[in-house]
Amino acid sequence: MLDRIKASLPSLAPAEQRVGKLVLTDPRAFASLPVSVLADRSHVSKPTVVRFCRSMGYDGLSDFKLKLAGTVSEGVPFIHRSVDADDKTSDVMVKVIDNTVAAFLKYRNDASTAATEKASETLASTYKTGKRIEFYGVGNSGVVAQDAQHKFFRLGVNTIAYSDGHMQVMSASLLGPGDCVVVISNSGRTRDLVDACDIAKKNGATTIVITASGSPLAAACHIHLAADHPEGYDRYSPMVSRLLHLLIIDILATAVALRIGGNRLQPMLKQMKNNLRSKRYA
């Protein structure tokens, strides 16, 4: 949570930056002090303190302080154990699994419930009105976009995934009010994705972005689902980031399925299962 606040500081207004710096200076005190004292120490108004909490993706000051208290008292550290050339297979298994589990637990503690709920409601609303939901990603994130399209396609959603920059720009140009695009990026710095997101937003489509805090892509969307992790953006073969993005997509798909309702989905999924039986050996 503290890493995410630090990464987000440059994108905040000057007054909110002062509140963020106060959090980073003494998070334990921030979690226990009343809003009047926090405002005084930050040299801002009380509403600015609350606005900062909401800018970080939380419901308000109480929600922010509750999550902050959990982070500083029992936060789950990221256990980074780099694989060495002489590691045995058993060592590799332990290190890779520990890295992934620690990242998932960290996300569980840091994730904004408000942002996830808003994204889920937006996607469910887009489905119910028959509008389009599109997923964009390039390279490694393109694979995640395809997985997202597959998950939502099974729910009967009118959706498609694009991993080519030209196709993303062309498709974004055809979107309009009521449509929704989900952009997935590890670094949040890919020019094609930022351009496509801007075009979709200007055309009136709702933009949801899964990427790192403080990135250009995070600042260019309507709803930001922060996917922050200690894995370097420029690593040749990212592992934890891909799994984290897949996890977020799975959360969204599950939340949207619940909003659609079992009475509508169960018969369709049952028929799909029955039709697929002929494709398998007994």
If you write DSSP's letter for every residue of 129-170 in order, what string do you get? TT--EEEE--THHHHHHHHHHHHHHTTT--EEEE-SHHHHHH
pLDDT at 80: 44
pLDDT of 71 reads 67
Nearest Cα residue to 18 out of 43, 36, 47, 53: 43
Q: Lowest mean pLDDT of 34-48, 76-90, 114-128, name the range.
A: 76-90
pLDDT given at position 73: 54
Q: Which amino acid belongs to residue 229?
A: H
pLDDT, residue 72, reads 63
In DSSP terms, which residues pair with 180 in a beta bridge?
Answer: 133, 206
Q: What is the pTM of this model?
A: 0.69
Query: In which band, very low, low, confident or very high, does the pLDDT at 199 lie, cut at 50, 70 and 90?
Result: very high
Instruction: Kindly report, residue by residue over 210-261, the tens digit of the pLDDT.
Output: 998 889 999 989 999 999 876 555 443 567 888 999 999 999 999 999 998 8
Long-range pairs for 92-99: beta carbons < 8 A, 24 or more residues apart: 96/239, 99/239, 99/240
Residue 80 tokens, joined: 């980074």
* CB-based contacts of 75-84 (< 8 A; 24+ apart in sequence): 75/1, 75/106, 75/109, 76/102, 76/105, 76/106, 76/109, 77/102, 77/106, 78/102, 78/103, 78/106, 78/229, 78/230, 80/230
Q: Which fold does the domain 113-268 belong to in CATH?
A: Rossmann fold (3.40.50)
Q: Domain 2-74, what fold?
A: Arc Repressor Mutant, subunit A (1.10.10)
Determine what percent of the chain is predicted with pLDDT higher than 70: 90
DSSP category for residue 230: S
Q: Tell me, what's the pLDDT at 88?
A: 84
**CB burial string 211-223: b at 16+ within 10 A, e below:** bbbbbbbbebbbb
Question: What per-residue confidence (pLDDT) applies to 209?
Answer: 97
The count of other CB atoms within 10 Å of the CB of residue 252 is 23
pLDDT tens sequence across 71-87 = 665 444 444 445 667 77
| pLDDT band, very low/low/confident/very high, at 277 (cuts 50, 70, 90) | confident
Residue 118 banded pLDDT, cuts 50, 70, 90: very high
Of residues 241 and 144, the one with the higher pLDDT is 144
Residue 225 class from Cβ within 10 Å (0-12 exposed, 13-18 middle, 19+ buried)?
A: buried
Which of 202, 194, 187 is CA-nearest to residue 141? 187
> Domain residues of the chain, as ranges?
2-74, 76-110, 113-268
Residue pair 123/149 in contact by the 8 Å Cβ criterion: no
Band of the pLDDT at 2, cuts 50, 70, 90?
A: confident
Q: 221 versus 267: which is more confidently predicted?
A: 221
pLDDT interval class at 91 (50, 70, 90) = confident
Which residues are bridge partners to 206 per DSSP? 180
Q: Which of 88-102, 142-156, 200-214, 245-259 comes out lowest in average pLDDT?
A: 88-102
pLDDT bin (cut points 50, 70, 90) of residue 272 is confident
- For residues 9 and 16, the answer to whether their CB atoms sit within 8 Å is no
Confidence at 58, pLDDT banded by 50, 70, 90? confident
Taking a C-beta distance cutoff of 8 angstroms, is the pair 121, 94 a contact? Answer: no
pLDDT over 90 (residue 90): no
For residue 273 the two structure tokens come to 């299962």
